[in-house]
Amino acid sequence: MARSMNHSVPVIAIDGPGGAGKGTISQAVASRLGWHLLDSGSLYRVTAYAAHERGISPGDSEAVSEVARALDVRFEHNGPDIRIVLEENDVSNSIRTEEVGKMASLVAADPAVRQALIDRQRAFARAPGLVADGRDMGTVVFSDAGLKIFLTASVEERARRRYKQLKDKGMDVSLPALSRDMKERDRRDSERLVAPLRAADDARVLDSTELAIPEVVDLVISWRNEVFPL
Ligand code: DC
């Protein structure tokens, strides 16, 4: 596999299951440090969404990986908000539905799709640093990251958090259905053969079930100060 990592750029890899708070924590840490942010799940979501729009089935490996390779996607920053623009259309909300999440999990199980997205993800590692959020940031994409965190929480707590997040966006969701889907997605993400969801051997496992967001952010920042001396 072609490696194109930029070793001089510090990387914090934050992996873990859906709903563990990776997105919120990664965004807060990146903003506190003034570092770049990679929400790698959004790339799988945009790929699944774009394929679906073109009538391509998630199982059509060749066609979906071509979509992934050719993605015309931009991340536009507006203060703390990030707009995801696919071919001039704002898809920030449309890719967050549970339906797209399920399709993303299916296409993400395909090695050709993962390979098609790897260089695009590594290109996010730019000075002064990168916070990378995903499932295989510490194990595959940034396997030499200076700080690797596996952020988790109980499935009940994760389902409750995701429920609140979607409700706040005005989406119509049911907690039991979300909890069921989340278990199914965890299973698929953990059991797939390529880059399964797991903590890297050198990752610090952080269980956030009982922690508030600022406590988790402070802990990550303190680890960052330990690992990358100022
Ligand atoms: O974090 P998320 O829910 O936006 O991710 C959507 C799907 O993409 C999820 O089912 C797992 C997959 N994914 C992945 O396989 N590898 C990543 N680095 C990020 C996400």
Distance from Cα 198 to the centre of ligand 1, integer Å = 13
pLDDT on residue 7: 63
Domains, the chain, ordered by start: 11-225 (3.40.50.300)
For strand 73-78 and strand 81-86, is the pairing parallel, antiparallel, or unpaired?
antiparallel
Cβ contacts of 37 within 8 Å, gap of 6 or more: 26, 27, 30, 82, 124, 130, 131, 132, 133
Give the SS3 label for residue 50: helix
Give tens-digit pLDDT for 40-54.
Answer: 999 999 999 999 999
Q: What is the mean pLDDT of residues 57-86?
A: 93
Residues in the ligand 1 pocket, defined by CB under 6 Å: 18, 40-42, 44-45, 101, 104-105, 108, 134-136, 185, 189
* Entry pTM: 0.91
- In angstroms, the CA 133 to CA 90 distance is 21
- In angstroms, the CA 221 to CA 229 distance is 12
Cβ contacts of 191 within 8 Å, gap of 6 or more: none
Distance from Cα 226 to the centre of ligand 1, integer Å = 28
Distance from Cα 42 to the centre of ligand 1, integer Å = 7
